[in-house]
Chain A
Amino acid sequence: MATEVSATHAAHTSTGYDSRKLFMWTFLGSDCLFFGALIATYILYRGRSLTGPYPKDVFNIPYTSVSTFVLLMSSLTMVLTLSAIQRGDMRAFRVWTLATALLGCVFLGGQAFEFTDFVAKGLRPSTNLFGSSFFVLTGTHGTHVGIGVIMLLSLFGFSLTGRIRQESAIYVEMIGLYWHFVDIVWIVIFTLVYLTRV
């Protein structure tokens, strides 16, 4: 018989779902509209910049695809994090939490480097429509990643002091949902902004 404790064992709620989990899914549903509006703005302004630099002048797709891969792998480590705490394996939990945060930082580092590279090539938020919509969209996404990293590091810290135990798996699950959402937003951005660039 599995020794796992399910993360959301029979919640005493009218729907059977833990309220915290439902909260996070609802928040993510609302975040779809948030990123949707930013992406819509980007798509609207695609190809309408009056002056350069244009995407083809600055994008380095192989570089960005490494960033994309890093973020995808961080989703894997995130789900392994959750799996670990659900099993009660706190050591593995800490390892995978740190790994996820680290991969998130690598992604952010990659973004930061990309931004400075673009600025060096003459693309700033104020330069043209591409600059404005690109930096605001990816900057907002990066901020979301940053908040996620802070939450992960907090989890790590709390687990060292014993505050996060197997029973707290629901919070890891919530942060995991948030983290995966940030990943899927990047999946959309990678395709619509980078791979299908004008």
Chain B
Amino acid sequence: MATIAQPYAGTYPRPSRWEVIWEWITTVDHKKIAKLYLVTSFVFFILAGIEALIIRLQLARPDERLISAETYNELFTMHGTMMIFLVVMPLGVAFFNLLVPLQIGARDVAFPRLNALSYWIYLFGGILLTSSWLFEAAPNDGWFAYANLTEKTFTPGHNLDFYYVGLQILGISSLIGAINFFVTILNMRAPGMRIMRMPPFTWMVMVTSVLLFTALPVLAVDLILLMFDRAYATNFFNPAKGGEPILWQHLFWLFGHPEVYIMILPAFGIISEILPTFARKPLFGYPVVVLSGAAIGVMGWGVWAHHMFTVGLGAAANSAFATTTMLIAVPTGIKIFNWIATLWGGDLQMKTPLYFALGFIAMFIIGGLSGVTHGIVPADYEQHMTYYIVAHFHYVLFGGALFALFGGIYYWYPKLFGRMLDETIGKWHFWLMLIGFNLTFGPFHMLGLDGMPRRIYTYAANNGWGFWNMVSTIGAFTIALSILVFFWNVYVTSRKPADAPADPWDGRSLEWTIPSPPPEYNFARIPVVHARDPLWHQKLLRRYGRATGNDPLAQEPADEHIHMPPRSFYPIITALGLPLMGYGFIYQQDHKAFWALFAAGIIVLFLGAFGWATEPTE
């Protein structure tokens, strides 16, 4: 470690730019990693958002010829793929990183270097996937890439190769992260932090992690089958040799349906954190809320073929999956009732996080209801492949997950950055986003039921779809404006001093007991937990003069030396091996020389792993 010169007592020279970059490259601190995920997801959010805006420009009027049909296919494929894998999921992981150790009273996750590895793999995988645009080979068969359109004979070019390589790499990042957080939550809880005392967000992270490490392997296999069909002429989806394209769909949706719960459960967790704080009442029915989250996770494995009702699986299969789909609405409905009950009779603090949470409840109910209508098989025969479906999933993923994530950003911004986002600008952001969102996606219900199919790059004027499409496009640009307002808020806030208090919202959980932003070691003394909502519990005890000695607000350091894991260079090195292998594999199909790149990637991977295994961890 470089010695720090101290010309004056009590002052330190500012770190150089290179020292700062090195610090970020080698960090294993979950809070820094959370910031990395946050910033990176927003970069991809802008890119995927621009893709959406171009789509909306193309569809605003009938017979528009702004872009070609081929480019349109790439646009909607990449918009969906990027939003799911590079935006919503990583934003969720940003919150996992920030909150899980803090909420359970730990100093970091179970495997800090693996945590960093997950981030770097995400970054490199995301770059590889997005770089497909530069190679004029962006994936173009939909984010779900149904076989056998994806076979080489029907989709030549490298578009799908970028798809399966990119998603395989991203899957590794999520898989490692899921197991990491699962072990962290089970093994690193502070004394007294029983499972049924954990904050609801951490509970949802636990369920989400289980979904991730069970569902991702199935997608991995599906992608491997596609890879072999395209690169080595195997016959998994080749009907000419007896292959079954529907196998792709089964394996894809076996992953794909748990995937939507992977995206929404963290959002549910965020809502369950925000509502009690701003209603100044405990979460209503906590055991039921967390257990229904677990139930959704388990039942989510039983509904996948509701994405395949029109494939021809037969009445028995369709009926079975329709039934399970109806049933899964029950635990979700239970949560919504509990959230409403939490608000009921509460002393509502109308701050920006609560606005987003309320917006979430309203939008998610709409999206959930349209989802229930999809579960009615004959109705789905009309809805499938129309904009009605697009309406549904945007209401639950944008109106749901993204609203909750923004609420979480406003709520925990002071904890992570030491500054409070501006309330007034926040409310402008909220209302513009809510109005823009409903203008964009509300019309899709009508358009869908009026017969407008998905994935068409233009439509004739005599369909009568022009008006609502124009409304939708205006809405999309309103959303874009609201995002600019949000960035303005971030900018304005960055100019303010970082003087946010430890507990600006009168919070309930352990993250509010430590400074904003927290010191690297989080807790000077690991707290001992005696109840759910431990901080409210402490505050109430103190108010009634019954505070115990183990006050979690105590800041004096403990007797023992606090040992934090050292920084490491090897996660980023190890991660770098993967895109090298990826590009190498994609292009070796054109020129055998690219096997050298693939081999170089393996070598980098091994060097990284070897260095990792042998570096000192003390």
Contact = CB atoms under 8 A, between A and B. Distances in A.
Query: Does chain A bind chain B?
Result: yes
- Give the one of A15, A19, A163 with max B CB within 10 A: A19
Contacts of A136: 224-225, 228, 234, 236
A125 interface: yes
Contacts of B241: 49-51, 128-129
B187 A14 contact: yes
B188 A34 contact: no
Interface string B156-198: 0000000000000000000100011011001111000100000
A128 B242 contact: yes
A132 B234 contact: yes
Contacts of B232: 125-126
A69 interface: no
B299 interface: no
A15 B251 contact: no
Contact of B234 (A19, A22, A125): A125
Nearest to A140: B224
Contact of A29 (B180, B187, B213, B614): B213
A116 interface: no
Q: How large is the interface on B (under 10, 10 to 19, 20 to 34, 35 or more residues)?
A: 35 or more
B29 interface: no
B540 interface: no
Interface in A152-172: 154, 158, 163
B328 interface: no
Contact of B217 (A13, A37, A45): A37
The winner among A37, A44, A135 for most chain B CB atoms within 10 A is A37
Contacts of A128: 235, 241-242
A22 B186 contact: yes
B452 interface: no
Contacts of B187: 11, 13-15, 17, 19, 22
A41 interface: yes
Given A14-B186, A126-B235, A163-B614, A30 B217 contact: yes
B319 interface: no
Interface class of chain A by DSSP: helix
B228 A132 contact: yes
Given A41-B247, A44-B247, A125-B232, A30 B188 contact: no
Given A19-B187, A26-B179, A125-B234, A33 B217 contact: yes
A38 interface: yes
A125 B228 contact: yes
Given A13-B187, A14-B188, A50-B241, A19 B182 contact: no
B217 A129 contact: no
A51 B240 CA distance: 11
Contacts of B340: none
Contacts of A41: 221, 225, 236, 247, 251
A133 interface: yes
Interface string A21-33: 0110011011101
B61 to A, nearest CB: 45
A81 B92 CA distance: 42
B235 A22 contact: no
A137 to B, nearest CB: 10
B234 A37 contact: no
Contacts of A29: 213-214
B242 A129 contact: yes
Contacts of B186: 13-15, 22
Given A23-B111, A129-B242, A37 B183 contact: no
A26 B228 contact: no
Contact of A13 (B188, B221, B247, B614): B188
Nearest to B222: A37
Given A30-B213, A34-B220, A38-B221, A23 B242 contact: no
- Count class of interface residues, chain A: 35 or more
B218 interface: yes
B243 interface: yes
A121 interface: no
A56 interface: no
B21 interface: no
Nearest to B609: A154
B213 A19 contact: no
Nearest to A24: B179
A41 B252 CA distance: 13
Contacts of A48: 242
B235 A132 contact: yes
A2 B317 CA distance: 58
Contacts of A13: 186-188
Contact of B183 (A22, A51, A126): A22
A22 to B, nearest CB: 5
A157 B216 CA distance: 33
Interface in B218-256: 218, 220-222, 224-225, 228, 232-236, 241-244, 247, 251, 254
B613 interface: yes
Contacts of B614: 158, 163
Contacts of A34: 217-218, 220-221
Interface in B573-618: 610, 613-614
Interface string A108-142: 00000000000000000110110111011000100
Contacts of B188: 13-14, 19
Interface centre among A49, A126, A135, A140 (most CB of B within 10 A): A126
20 contacts: A14-B189, A19-B110, A19-B187, A19-B188, A22-B183, A22-B187, A23-B110, A26-B182, A29-B214, A30-B213, A30-B216, A33-B218, A34-B221, A37-B251, A38-B224, A41-B225, A49-B242, A128-B235, A128-B242, A154-B613
Interface of B: 110-111, 175, 179-180, 182-183, 186-189, 193, 213-218, 220-222, 224-225, 228, 232-236, 241-244, 247, 251, 254, 610, 613-614
Interface of A: 11, 13-15, 17, 19, 22-23, 26-27, 29-31, 33-34, 37-38, 41, 44-45, 48-51, 125-126, 128-129, 131-133, 135-136, 140, 154, 158, 163
For the complex of A and B, the 4 pairs showing the least CB-CB separation, nearest first, are A34-B217, A132-B234, A37-B221, A13-B187
